[in-house]
């Protein structure tokens, strides 16, 4: 059984799509598995080593929002989570 919430699944799917379309392309799940753990016990992804076109980023985020049928404040909350998380930097 999958213990992830709808939002958690959407976030993971979004990061996977973003990194797949980034330069260089990467498998986000593999990045997580191989990530270094910092002094706070958090996994660190070197997101600055990956770049994505801003329009492609927007298209991916918007498609995930549509797929998961987010509404109202949840849309902005999701966008903020992705933008302030470990998404690739813009080209």
pLDDT along the chain (91 residues), means of 10: 81 98 97 95 94 98 98 96 96 92
Total number of domains constituting the chain: 1
**Is residue 1 in a domain?**
no
In terms of phi and psi (left: phi > 0; alpha: psi -120 to 50; beta: otherwise), the region of 8 is alpha
Distance of CA 10 to the CA centre of its chain: 9
- For the chain, helix, strand, coil in percent to 5 are 55, 10, 35
Chain length of the chain: 91
What per-residue confidence (pLDDT) applies to 4? 75
The pLDDT of residue 3 is: 64
Task: For residue 31, give the 3-state DSSP assignment.
Answer: helix
With 0-12 / 13-18 / 19 or more C-beta atoms within 10 angstroms meaning exposed / middle / buried, residue 36 is: exposed
| Residue ranges making up the domain that contains 42 | 6-90
Check: pTM over 0.85? Answer yes or no.
yes
- On whether residue 59 sits in a domain, the answer given is yes
In a domain, 49, yes or no: yes
């Amino acid at each position: 059984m999958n213990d992830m919430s709808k939002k958690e699944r959407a976030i993971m799917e979004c990061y996977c799509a973003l990194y797949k379309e980034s330069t260089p392309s990467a498998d986000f799940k593999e990045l997580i598995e191989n990530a270094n753990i910092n002094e706070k016990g958090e996994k660190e992804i070197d997101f600055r080593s990956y770049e994505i076109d801003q329009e492609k980023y927007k298209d991916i985020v918007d498609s995930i929002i549509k797929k998961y049928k987010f509404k109202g404040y949840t849309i902005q909350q999701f966008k903020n989570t992705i933008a302030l998380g470990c998404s690739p930097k813009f080209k």
